[in-house]
Structure 1
Amino acid sequence: MAYTIPRGTQDIIPGESEKWQIVEAAARDLCRRYNYKEIRTPMFEQTELFARGVGDTTDIVQKEMYTFEDRGGRSLTLRPEGTASVVRAFVSEKMHGWPDQPVKLFYNGPMFRYERPQSGRMRQFVQFGIEALGSADPALDAEVIGLAMDLYKELGLKQVKLVLNSLGDKDSREAHREALVAHFEPRIDEFCSDCQTRLHQNPLRILDCKKDRDHELMSSAPSILDYLNEESRTYFETVKAYLTAMDIEYVVDPTLVRGLDYYNNTAFEIMVEGEGFGAITTLCGGGRYNGLVEDVGGPETPGIGFGLSIERLLMALETQGIDLTAGEELDAYLVTLGEQAKEEAPKLLHQLRQQGFSLETDYLGRKMKGQMKAADRQKARLVLLLGDDELERGEINVKNMQTGAQEAVKLNELTDKLQKQNGEDD
């Protein structure tokens, strides 16, 4: 029988996988510069971790998790996002006791959500994210946001917009919560069943409802910014001042509500503007989550982070016509003519590859014309032509595919020739 790929998943094949490697390499290099270290967590965890950490009133927990029971009767869930697992590891590995605080971590790996697949949104998707745990300094908020903005900038993405809000501390959120209940309760029967359930569980989540987003009560709902106490207001103003000093432009949106329950104080999203990207414009979301470490059994520890979809980033780059692989080329393609030359090829290829060069050759017994076409398709800078006669003389012909110039080079001088050629091309 013919097997088909599960709905909401994808094969990332050569020609596409290189783009992923470039994006992920850029993210890793930024983390190196910002001094974030990689963490790798299991792809599945105890279900209770996500129910408690992500929030049992969220759509993720209520509708989208891949949950199963193992042979020992334990309820396990494929991770739907990265933060809860990182925070669990922070507690499990006692990172809160490390001498250098805050602990700055990054992750990159597959996440799983059972939702309706659409452009840029898959059931298995790759999320890159960072988490900084152990400091409540607003300068750290600005650093985290700056790292995310730098990634999009360095990859060449244009029309990127940073949207900010403050969800306040516990006291501010409680005051806002009461105001939201009073605002929505008289007409809550006009809203969807999910919003009716959220009214007393977590009314802030009503503002994030996609079904009722156009209801008139949404636009007139109390703003969290009107309920920030002095401490929360000062914190938010300080974050904004740091961003301004870093030349990072932003827009304050009082209606911005992150889809996970653990956020407080700073919340942000990074969006892409312009035509051709579709209705879902958010590329990245994050914020501060003081209190989450305690919720998963650790000591009181502030934290902040973000998560972004690699798929959505690649989609945005493609929409804007940014080709990440435009400069991807082979250093050389080895064309052989004659039995002795073909026998010598594996040794020569191995030696050159050990020197750091990228090479390919023919394995299908094609004639010279077919081998030259293959070299052209694979964007080889040079073609190395080795025949039995050249081999006997200890030479090889080197052809520049861009200029057409060709010269004979001693085999024992080939490495120097390739290094020089690469230097000239760079």
Structure 2
Amino acid sequence: MTKRISLSARRLGAVPLALALGLAACGQTDDGGGGMGQPELDGGDQAEADTEAEGDELVIGRISALEGAFAAGAEDGERGVQMALEEFGHEVAGRPIRTIVESSDTTPETVVERARKLVEQDGVDIIHGPLSGSEGVALADYAKTVPHVTFVDAASGGTETTLRDPAENYFRWHSDGAMWTAPMGPYAVEELGYDRVVTLAEDYSFPHSQVGGFLNGYCAAGGEVAETFWVPLGESDYSSVIASIPEDIDAIYVALGGSDAVDFLSQAINFGIDKPIIGGSILVEETVLSSEGQIRDAALGTVASGVVPPPAADVAGWQDFVSRYQEMFPNGFDNPSHFAALYYNGFKALLLALEEVNGVVEEDDGEALRAAMSDLQWDSPIGPLALNENRQAEGDVFIYEVVEGDDGGLTTELRDVGEDIPQPEVVWERLDGCPAP
């Protein structure tokens, strides 16, 4: 399903974003002008000038998981893209930007179907997306079949996307799920004193990476795993899992996200969890903490790790980003989510690289653009970014705790920073205990 929109960034913040995107519609384009009108023209026939502008527009395909468990995150990701476009005046090197946004549902089959539509029917040379881990793995595989198309990841975190036979035309401007949890493992043992845990996660690529990254460091630090629980993406009933958790543990490591995270946290206390919770990277991020679910008692005190800093963290550029988000989207979340930050980073990196090649991508099948992307180094809101030989970003990871904010709501505070976390050397598959040494 394709959705058609042409809305200003401020309008996107003034109503529920799902409604602004017109989720019941059957096609979406964004003219890149954000509904703010066309650039001024220097006289001449208006219709002729419009035709010239349209002929010179730069069309970018985008795929976002606006359906399913991560719809709220995808909606906030759209805000991040609007922020990047706003910085560039919705054009690059004089070329107006138009995006064609395809809605996905987090499944590999759907994301490839949407990508094929963008390439074969819409003729795009650039695709930004997707959100979810298994989507990223599938899209990177598809990228190998269309080497003239440049792919820039939006927020997916599966390790194999850029580690296992990576596509030369696929770029990821954020670290992966295993990197996001790598420092949390030893921290849980050495700082929190959690020597024995169970894990709970969804059974697909991204949580495999999350659990693998956590257990690799946790077990190396002397931690033990009593049991692992795997559930389907979209699971809503955690009563049987919670009833099966053994008593002789110190904490529960939970790598759920989106509506799954809300459902689990809402049920945790009622179904008898009385152990501390260690969070994966999206268990207690902004879209979950701002939800209407009854998560407060379970979420408070949860310690988690991720690539996006807490709202008040003293990270160069982050406070400016938070302030701009709040100004542009007064009815959005209180603070930019994990997804807003990562969508922004990927799309801004793309715009910076396009600027380097004067907006030209058609003449050389995108080779100059991909070279510029590979060489790009820039200061993002979450820290300095550059790509390694796999076209994969590396960087810092933030450990934080859920606390009560000044307004009585839930927020997070920084506890520690894992600096310069490298890309792992192995792809973590589904684990049922400590990884083999």
Given the two structures, how large is their TM-score scaled by the length of structure 2?
Answer: 0.23
Given the two structures, how large is their TM-score scaled by the length of structure 1?
Answer: 0.23
Higher RCO structure, 1 or 2 (CA under 8 Å, sep 6+): 2
